[in-house]
Amino acid sequence: MSHDEGVIKFKMEYREAPALDAAALRELNAWRRILVLLEMIGQTPERYAGYGFGNISCRLLPWSAPAEQRRFVITGTQTGHVANLAPEHFVVVTACHPVQNLTVAEGPIQPSSESMTHGAVYALDSRIRWVMHGHSPEIWRNAARLGIPTTRAAVPYGTPEMSAEVARLYNESDLRTRRLFAMGGHEDGVVSFGRTAEQAGQVLLAALANSLYV
Ligand SMILES: [Zn+2]
């Protein structure tokens, strides 16, 4: 079993802080709900040994922040089983330092174990505002047929190597325009991104449709 979503590999500086305002989380929650309905985010005994899977995030101001200090809101760790999230299920990542494998976060809950992967995507381009990480057996198994850029299977998620691998794909493949990659070493794992939630979400939906073509 290659999947170990619940195992936290990264180092974290976490500080408890009040929840964000619910109004600021509505769009995140709406798109997360869609991914839950598609079973790309969730938690069930039948999949991945019962660990929660998938997560969604969006950037916070200031847009001009340096690559390792691009703040974003992300779902908290092991919230996959909750259908509709409340403000206390979200946390702000204030910095990601891939070389030290260090994530800095503040909020009412610890961040998802894949925050570093989200941070690696935001570090690619300050115009990227949304990242969606879903688990889709359909897209993942058809990634090669669909020409979806894929991280090398030997690169574990949530590590400095994954950050470097994402940057490599961004520079060497059509990831920049495709806005979707598969995680070769992370069963069913796919990541989309965009300037808006619609852009990131539609990339996932279109890939799912394409993967269902027979
Ligand atoms: Zn995952």
Report pLDDT for 1: 33
pLDDT mean over 11-37: 95
CB 101 within 8 A of CB 10: yes
How close is the Cα of 55 to the center of ligand 1, in Å? Answer: 8
Residue 11 has pLDDT above 60, yes or no: yes
Cα–Cα distance, 74 to 55 (Å, whole number)? 7
Query: Does 160 fall in a domain?
Result: yes
Structurally, the chain folds into a number of domains equal to 1
Query: Does 208 fall in a domain?
Result: yes
Q: Range of 46's domain?
A: 11-212
Query: Does 167 fall in a domain?
Result: yes
How close is the Cα of 114 to the center of ligand 1, in Å? Answer: 7
How close is the Cα of 2 to the center of ligand 1, in Å? Answer: 11
Provide the strand spans (E) within the chain: 11-16, 55-59, 72-75, 90-97, 102-107, 130-135, 150-151, 180-183, 189-194
**CATH classification at residue 46:** 3.40.225.10
Residue 69 has pLDDT above 50, yes or no: yes
Query: Does 6 fall in a domain?
Result: no
The structure's pTM equals 0.94
Query: Does 92 fall in a domain?
Result: yes
pLDDT tens-place string over residues 129-173: 999 999 999 999 999 999 999 999 999 877 788 899 999 999 999
Query: Does 4 fall in a domain?
Result: no
How close is the Cα of 122 to the center of ligand 1, in Å? Answer: 17
Query: Does 3 fall in a domain?
Result: no
How close is the Cα of 54 to the center of ligand 1, in Å? Answer: 5
Query: Does 5 fall in a domain?
Result: no
